[in-house]
Structure 1
Amino acid sequence: MKCQRCSKSAVIYQKYSNAHLCKNHFIEDVERKIKRDIRKFKMIGKGEKIAVALSGGKDSIALLYVLHKIFKNRPDLEFMAITIDEGIKGYREHTLSHAIKLTGELGIRHIIRSFEEEFKTSLDALTREKENAACTLCGVLRKNILNKAARELGADKIAIGHNLDDESQTILMNYLRGDVDRLKRMLPGTIQKGMVPRIKPLRSIPEKEVALYGFMNNLPVSMDECPYAGSALRNEIRDMLNNYEVKHPGTKYSLLGGYESISGFLRPADTQIVFCEKCNEPGSDRICKTCRLLGRK
């Protein structure tokens, strides 16, 4: 098939837009959506310092690359990358090498923190000791380290690689749970004391297109899945949404658009932020979730 915008061969067919696109027009389409959302939600302002959460997976690799491409001629902005090594044997070493390779090629400062360094343990060890699901442990502890590192480095924002699939899954999960508080916390620009604000430049890009964007730009893209991912509750929502998307193209965009339509009626999250009595990090209780999971008394 030919690209609908030129005579070159198409590399993708977007069912939701009924468009065939060649390599150049596909890359242009992805970057246009990212630039649009950055402007729309005022994700990056003048003179800001942005910390990119760089796991080394396909999403974070593409995120760092595209932000550098868009803003490399802006001397007022500073970008850095933060990688969290959870201690997942046979998996994290591989993605970490990709993160180190890309930051070296782009000349971007790269900070690596680990569970071992911060908590004197690893995710592998914790999953053997705790009853909690690995994804719960990983999510809470990784967020703790990432926020602390970004704050210490003076970052104004943390850019994370959540794509359209991630966002639509989260929205649907919160709808099904009736969790309005979490829906509020998803609002762009939400500010909470002690927490470095997060931005999601890839929020309108489908997961498969993020991967293709990486391949088209010769990025060190890893398609390996975390060995603990199979235990995540999110998988049920992901499979349901993917099946529905096949039958009804555009469903994921509809979920995101619907959420944006009602977001004007949601007040920003008013969760009471307190500082943990054990580690002095921000949380919603006198003992933060990180300390509770680690069994700190």
Structure 2
Amino acid sequence: MMCNACKKRESTYYQRHSGLNLCDECFISYVKKKVRRTLGKSIIKNNIKIGMGLSGGKDSLVMAYLLKEYYNPIPNSEIIGLIVDEGIEGFRKKGIEMAIDFCEEYNIPYYITTFEEYVGCTLDYIVERSEERNITTNPCSFCGVIRRKILNKMALNNKCNYLAIGHNLDDIAQGVMMNYIEGDIKKLAILGKNIDNPMFVKRLKPLKYIPEDEVKLFANLIGIKYHKEPCPYSSLSYRSEISEVLDKLEDKHPGTKYSIISGFERLLTYLPVEKKMDICKYCGSPSASDTCKACEFLKRLNII
């Protein structure tokens, strides 16, 4: 089968939801163009500083590769890597090493911090403490809120205009469905809109229209070395259950995940975001109440 784009080379990839057959070169070009359109002209311009949350996995490193390519020729623009060591024994070290190697290979400045530095303990300790106290909140919930808080603080400290997160299409579709099933309208609204607050760095999600399998293929074709091992806590999460359901639906009905995001974006018009933000009385971070979610978790565990 010939590539539908160039009509010169043999197709190596079939995109089920669109029916497109693409060769390696045209697939790479397709992803680059799609991510550039996602960012838009208002973002790719002079005098922009972007902090990138880097885990060492395929998503964050593909995102960093593309942002480096887009911003490298633009005057007075800068991208930096923000790396957080959550403290997961036997797992996290390798990902951090790969994130550092990537930054050094592509000449990207980077900054590293730890859960221990910001909240006084590792994620492993938080999980152990929650088990001792019979708290059923899964580790991914603890990790997610604390990691987001730390990345926001790092981006603020480095005077970044934007904080780029490597969430792909699968991640966004899962988040939409999780919050919808839980009836959490506030989280749904926050998921799709940036909060207008000087203490909250605006988010960029360059890969939000790129499915996970395409991110992986792009990384392999470009030759990006990334951490392939899954987090040992990920299988315990509610997200992993939602992921399995959506994968089955996508397999039977190609385009399901795109449809979820498309419908969600149309719905966003009707979802109000709370404009008034409070300040957490424990850490000083922007919060919807007087205690941010991260500090709320830590209080339950008697860590603060």
- TM-score strictly above 0.5: yes
Instruction: Answer yes or no: is 1:240 the counterpart of 2:245.
Output: yes
Aligned position for 1:288: 292
The residue type equivalent to 1:96 in the other structure is I
Aligned position for 1:275: 279
Q: Quick check: 1:12–1:21 contact (8 Å CA) kept in 2?
A: yes
Aligned position for 1:202: 207
Aligned position for 1:122: 122
Kindly provide the CA deviation profile for residues 9-53 of structure 1, in whole angstroms up to 9, marking residues without a partner as x.
32211101111111110001111110111117x445531110001
Give, in angstroms, the shift of residue 262 of structure 1: 2.4
- Bigger drift between 83-92 and 169-178 goes to 169-178
Q: Quick check: 1:13–1:19 contact (8 Å CA) kept in 2?
A: yes
Q: TM-score, normalised by structure 2?
A: 0.92
Give, in angstroms, the shift of residue 4 of structure 1: 2.2
Give, in angstroms, the shift of residue 221 of structure 1: 2.1
Aligned position for 1:17: 18
The residue type equivalent to 2:20 in the other structure is A
Kindly provide the CA deviation profile for residues 43-94 of structure 1, in whole angstroms up to 9, marking residues without a partner as x.
4553111000111111000000011112210022111010100011121111
Aligned position for 1:100: 100
Provide the C-alpha distance between the structure 2 equivalents of 1:102 and 1:65, rounded to a whole number of angstroms.
Answer: 9
The residue type equivalent to 1:16 in the other structure is H
Q: TM-score, normalised by structure 1?
A: 0.94
Pairing of 1:1-297 with structure 2 (within 5 A): 1-5=1-5, 6-39=7-40, 42-130=42-130, 131=135, 132-267=137-272, 269-270=273-274, 272-295=276-299
Provide the C-alpha distance between the structure 1 equivalents of 2:68 and 2:271, rounded to a whole number of angstroms.
Answer: 33
Q: Quick check: 2:44–2:71 contact (8 Å CA) kept in 1?
A: no
Provide the C-alpha distance between the structure 2 equivalents of 1:283 and 1:266, rounded to a whole number of angstroms.
Answer: 19
- Bigger drift between 2-11 and 81-90 goes to 2-11
Give, in angstroms, the shift of residue 179 of structure 1: 2.0
- Bigger drift between 121-130 and 198-207 goes to 121-130
How many aligned positions are there?
295
Question: For structure 2, which runs of at least 5 residues remain unmatched after alignment?
Answer: none
C-alpha change, 1:32 and 1:188, in structure 2 (3 Å) is farther
Q: Quick check: 1:87–1:115 contact (8 Å CA) kept in 2?
A: yes
The residue type equivalent to 2:71 in the other structure is F
Provide the C-alpha distance between the structure 2 equivalents of 1:235 and 1:203, rounded to a whole number of angstroms.
Answer: 18
Q: Secondary structure at the match of 2:270?
A: coil
Provide the C-alpha distance between the structure 2 equivalents of 1:153 and 1:101, rounded to a whole number of angstroms.
Answer: 21
The residue type equivalent to 1:185 in the other structure is I
Q: Quick check: 1:195–1:282 contact (8 Å CA) kept in 2?
A: yes
Provide the C-alpha distance between the structure 1 equivalents of 2:148 and 2:265, rounded to a whole number of angstroms.
Answer: 25
Give, in angstroms, the shift of residue 271 of structure 1: 5.8
Provide the C-alpha distance between the structure 2 equivalents of 1:45 and 1:142, rounded to a whole number of angstroms.
Answer: 28
Question: For structure 1, which runs of at least 5 residues remain unmatched after alignment?
Answer: none
The residue type equivalent to 2:4 in the other structure is Q
Give, in angstroms, the shift of residue 138 of structure 1: 0.5
Q: Secondary structure at the match of 1:13?
A: strand
Provide the C-alpha distance between the structure 1 equivalents of 2:235 and 2:89, rounded to a whole number of angstroms.
Answer: 16
The residue type equivalent to 2:265 in the other structure is E
Provide the C-alpha distance between the structure 1 equivalents of 2:186 and 2:254, rounded to a whole number of angstroms.
Answer: 29
